[in-house]
Copies of this chain bind each other. A is one copy, B any other.
Amino acid sequence: MRAGIVGLGLIGGSFAKAYSVAGHTVCAFDTDKTVLSFAMLSNAVQEELTDDNLKDCDIILICVYPEAALRFMEEKGPLFGEKPVVIDCCGTKRNIVDKGRELAKKYGFTYVGGHPMAGTQFSGFKYAKEDLYFGAPMVLIPEKNDDIVFLDKLTQLLSPAGFARFTVTTPETHDRVIAFTSQLAHVVSNAYVKSPSAKIHSGLSAGSYRDLTRVAWLNPEMWTQLFLDNDDYLIEEIDILMDHLREYREALKDRDRERLIKLLDDGRRIKEEVDL
């Protein structure tokens, strides 16, 4: 197949590598010509994505910030035609899916909201890898979630990326859950390292510290945008976590052994129910 990729950062670059390694033709666009040249030299991309070949793509993956993704769909919408399925890969969905659907109707192309649930704390094409999505879930937000034939076509088009599963949901559910699984994790991790103890932890830490703080090193501009596009749900999750933290703190302050055991056991049980 022919895959169009817009934006060769970590996300778009990893799609490009996965599709080209699988033998497909990748056409890509990036505002940074150096990145595009490098991607073509390393054979992650075979052709430049242009106004002329957009309509020949089977799938177009838009992997840039939400504002730029919408601008791209507005500007190039008239050129997509009926063949490609256009998927944006932005990290929040309420802010983009409704507008994306409107543009798709206006210009007559096929649009689906998406979010590949994989990443690293690093960004940019140089960290992109062909197996980034291997084993990860891909979230899909189609207008109708019961069109089996279309969903089947979608999973075929995305199969070169190696996703383990596809999750079909709504913008609201996506944003609510992502505030918890991803955004809150980044806030907590980034806040965690601000204790003065972080400066003297060397030689006195193990896996739990490493895991808690892995994503503290992040791209501040990108995450600020993601947070602001989902501030209601994220504030709610921060409040829920702080309320719970306060319970442990109070039990500790009261040196209430039984209450502490109960609090820890409740968390242990939930973890077991939802993940183990």
A-to-B contact residues, CB < 8 Å:
117-120, 136-137, 139, 165, 167, 169, 173-174, 176-182, 184-209, 211-218, 220-221, 223-224, 227-228, 231, 234-235, 237-242, 244-249, 252-253, 255, 257, 260-268, 270-276
Residue in A181, A238, A249, A265 with the greatest tally of chain B CB atoms within 10 Å: A181
How far, in angstroms, from A4 to B155 measured CA to CA in the complex? 58
A29 to chain B, nearest CB (A): 26
- Sort A-B residue pairs by CB-CB distance and give the 10 closest, nearest first: A190-B267, A167-B203, A180-B197, A181-B205, A185-B208, A220-B264, A216-B271, A191-B244, A181-B209, A211-B211
In the complex the two chains form, is A137's CB within 8 Å of B270's CB? no
Chain A at the B interface: SS class = helix
How far, in angstroms, from A248 to B246 measured CA to CA in the complex? 17
**Which among B177, B228, B267 is the interface contact of A204 at CB below 8 angstroms?**
B177
A112 to chain B, nearest CB (A): 16
**Which among B118, B191, B274 is the interface contact of A202 at CB below 8 angstroms?**
B274
In the complex the two chains form, is B182's CB within 8 Å of A209's CB? yes
In the complex the two chains form, is B119's CB within 8 Å of A191's CB? no
In the complex the two chains form, is A201's CB within 8 Å of B228's CB? no
Give every chain B residue within 8 A of A272 (Cβ-Cβ): 217
Extra inter-chain contacts (19) besides given A190-B271, A220-B264, A224-B261, CB under 8 Å: A120-B207, A136-B206, A137-B204, A177-B204, A178-B204, A180-B198, A181-B201, A182-B208, A185-B212, A187-B248, A189-B212, A194-B267, A216-B268, A216-B271, A217-B268, A228-B257, A235-B252, A238-B252, A242-B245
